[in-house]
Amino acid sequence: MKAGAPGVFRQAPGFPAFLTDQQEKGSTPMPIVFHPQSRTFHLHNASISYIFKVLPSGHLGQLYCGKALRDRPDFDRLFETAPRSMSVCYFDGDDAYSLEHIKQEYPTCGAGDMHLPALDAQMPDGSRLLDLRYQKHTVTPGKPPIEGLPATYAEQDSEATTLTVTLADPLAGVTVKLFYTLFEQLPALARHAEIACTGQGPVQLDRAMSLCLDLPDSGYEMVELTGAWARERHVTTRPLAEGVQAVYSLRGHSSHHFNPFLALKRPDCGEMAGEVYGFSLVYSGNFLAQADVDPYHVTRVTMGIHPQNFRWTLRPGETFSTPEAVMVYSDRGLNGMSQTYHQLYRTRLARGVWRDKVRPVLVNNWEATYFAFNEEKLLTLAAQAKALGIELFVLDDGWFTHRSNDHGGLGDWEVDTAKLPGGLKGFAEKLNAMGLQFGLWIEPEMVNAGTRMWDEHPDWVLHQPGRRPQPSRHQYVLDYSNPDVVDFLYRRLEALLDGVPVSYIKWDMNRSISDAFSCAAGPAGQGEVLHRYILGLYRLYDRLTSRFPQILFESCASGGARFDPGMLYYAPQCWTSDDTDAVERLKIQYGTSFVYPVSSMGAHVAAVPNHQLDRVTSLTTRANVAFFGAFGYELDLTQLSPRGQELVARQVEFFKQHRRLLQFGAFWRLQSPFAHNEAAWMTVSPDRETALVGDYLILQQVNAGYRRIRLAGLDPSRLYRVTPLGSGAAPCGQPYTAGGDELMQAGLVTTGGSQAQHEGDFVS
């Protein structure tokens, strides 16, 4: 084909690659365009297009979602219909116009679509029929917040544009607003829905998804993050097949087991290239994320609060907001998808003074002492930590009364003065005098039997009167759906923290929620309890983080059971897993990085043999893995040999020197521990001047072959000085220079060096 022949789009020098109608007419380009004649919405920026239209019936038909397309007055060719016998027809005699076969934006139940819907409600007459049709729309600069819920945001109006489309079914008395925010610089679209009862009501919502997307084919693999306690967020991939495939949580928190995320990737999509759609829910409770493939190979993705155990009553004039779901498109492979999530979640979901600040190096006393400590022991550990360069001392579980093991104590939040004679204030001041900051563990959603809270407020515990609630880790869940409970805890925690120089809080949550019955809710409100619990949790986080804006919050739920975007809005980092073994952490951190930025992953060097699985790894390997996270130590530093102390001091110094790069650089996964005996990843500074590569060999191989890793994200035209690092991150081997192109194309030669065969297993 000759240049300029039909089919070739040639870009004239100095012109933008994509021309919109407005640009053709000379007006300001808008990333969200409405073409009135074809009633088509085109949400687009330089990398993504999302197109749908108002159909003749008033329903919203999905036309395209993917790589950016030039804007056109219409995209009607993408509206696929074919006459199909036996279909339910919207217009009598037109058997090509069936909601059963039309790809839709927010499908409902009973009005012709036979798939699982986005919205399912029961109206006052018992009907479940909902037929939502277009009323109006607005396009506004910026992004409105979602009342009471975490969400991505825009700092300047120019960063994002929001389309709101209003749909209504007057007979049902239901109005739905669909919100779509397109970020100007990112291939990311944030969506949520607001459902209102505009009739006599009440309307009962049984399913209200945040996002629905009908994709025209099913040639995808579904990627999900699965696991269990201490092996969270392993990467699992399976081809889509006809029928429903889903991940979910019914545990009251987002869970160790599945993360509120799924991706659909083309089978040839890998880390570095290929097409993938990511879907991530900004929510911390029960969720459902599913792909439903119909017999015509249309794939419907839905994501939102899990409909099981959910029933929300809307009275006249009331509205319900779903949580936000964020869709990301990448044609640069899985790394491209992850980097978009990292950038968006790190800079426009996380908030507060700690968002852009490098995180302090901490020592946490949990694996060092468990419950067996007193002030003297802690101060000895702290003195050693300080001597090694550590900045923050975190006092974990066990500092309050009746807490010598995990059978008692939760709920009263009174300092055990037998352990800390000067209280939290006295202890914190001693740390401060040493030059260390003070951090504190709390678990404010729980109560143990036998505490004052338990005895005085039995109705504040989630349970059904007359039925024994079931303990887990010997504890019970407080009813955060009851505003009185949230208010009480706010006041208790405020009083506890007030006047104490606390720099950091680790907020733990150590069980799944059972017995989700609220004594405060009444019969009609029980279906709302689990969502109201999460709203109460968010409210408490919001109040505490607003009252103590200088405190760095780290969320935690028996390790990583609530590692989700909702939590990141309040706490910019999260304890990634209770598994502190370096080799297990390779998988956990690799999987976590599919969605979450390195700065959000709490990662500690722990003792060996490792407390979760007895494995012995070198101090160097443990630090080399933990460096790629919010770095710290969680072992008895006083037990280190002189050589160990020297190594830790060097590691801390190295980390401090490079933490901005490690925590905020562009993170690339290079080699997967799920597929290989080696793992590798790297982080690159925004100016592409500096990069750090983590390269890990799991099991040694006798007489092994040669190995190179192809790096990524470098400037191909630059010369880089390559410094191999060994124990204590000290330079080892001869530095040399290599071109960015060479390192990315030919690869970094890793044969030999620190991976000499005599070093044993688990080296890096």
* Site residues (vs ligand DGJ, CB under 6 A): 366, 396-397, 441, 508, 510, 556, 558-559, 575, 578
CB 392, min distance to ligand DGJ, A: 15
Closer Cβ to ligand DGJ, 279 or 476, answer by number: 476
CB 530, min distance to ligand DGJ, A: 22
Q: Is 578 known to be catalytic?
A: yes
Closer Cβ to ligand DGJ, 42 or 585, answer by number: 585
Residue nearest to ligand DGJ (CB): 397
The candidate with the shortest Cα–Cα distance to 399, out of 377, 388, 389, is 377
Q: Residue 33: CB partners within 8 Å, gap ≥ 6?
A: 20, 21, 22, 41, 42, 43, 44, 71
Handedness of CA 518, 524, 527, 531 (dihedral sign): negative
Q: Cα-Cα-Cα-Cα dihedral of 178, 181, 182, 188, to 10°?
A: -90
How far is CA 576 from its chain centroid?
11
Among the listed residues 412, 578, 581, 695, the single catalytic one is: 578
Q: Residue 656: CB partners within 8 Å, gap ≥ 6?
A: 361, 389
Q: What is the full DSSP assignment across 509-531?
A: --S-------TTT-GGGGGGHHH
Asked if residues 325 and 281 have their Cβ atoms less than 8 Å apart, the reply is yes
Among the listed residues 120, 292, 397, 508, the single catalytic one is: 508
The C-alpha atoms of residue 555 and residue 456 are separated, in whole angstroms, by 28
CB count in 10 Å sphere of residue 595: 28
The candidate with the shortest Cα–Cα distance to 626, out of 651, 647, 643, is 651
CB 556, min distance to ligand DGJ, A: 5
Write the single-letter amino acid at 758: H
Q: How many helices (H) and strands (E) does the chain have?
A: 13, 37
Asked if residues 553 and 571 have their Cβ atoms less than 8 Å apart, the reply is yes
CB 557, min distance to ligand DGJ, A: 7
Place of tokens 């290989």: 676
CB 373, min distance to ligand DGJ, A: 13
CB 103, min distance to ligand DGJ, A: 43
Q: Residue 359: CB partners within 8 Å, gap ≥ 6?
A: 552, 573, 599, 630, 631, 659, 663
Asked if residues 111 and 59 have their Cβ atoms less than 8 Å apart, the reply is no
Give the containing element (helix H, strand E) for 407: none
Q: What is the full DSSP assignment across 646-675?
A: HHHHHHHHHHHHHHHHHHHSEEEEEE-TTT
CB 510, min distance to ligand DGJ, A: 5
Please name every residue paired with 183 in a beta bridge, in sequence order, or none if there are none.
160
Asked if residues 260 and 281 have their Cβ atoms less than 8 Å apart, the reply is yes
Q: What per-residue string of b and e applies to 535-548 under the rule 16 or more CB within 10 Å gives b? A: bbbbbbbebbbeeb
The C-alpha atoms of residue 576 and residue 586 are separated, in whole angstroms, by 12
The C-alpha atoms of residue 526 and residue 528 are separated, in whole angstroms, by 5
The C-alpha atoms of residue 128 and residue 206 are separated, in whole angstroms, by 10
CB 434, min distance to ligand DGJ, A: 23
Closer Cβ to ligand DGJ, 159 or 578, answer by number: 578
Total residues belonging to the chain: 764
The C-alpha atoms of residue 389 and residue 303 are separated, in whole angstroms, by 45
Closer Cβ to ligand DGJ, 441 or 504, answer by number: 441
Closer Cβ to ligand DGJ, 45 or 364, answer by number: 364
CB 619, min distance to ligand DGJ, A: 20
How far is CA 686 from its chain centroid?
22
Asked if residues 581 and 605 have their Cβ atoms less than 8 Å apart, the reply is no
**535 DSSP 8-state letter:** H
Closer Cβ to ligand DGJ, 162 or 365, answer by number: 365
Closer Cβ to ligand DGJ, 510 or 610, answer by number: 510
Q: Is 579 known to be catalytic?
A: no
CB 534, min distance to ligand DGJ, A: 20
**38 DSSP 8-state letter:** T
CB 374, min distance to ligand DGJ, A: 18
Closer Cβ to ligand DGJ, 361 or 647, answer by number: 361
- Residues tagged active-site: 508, 578
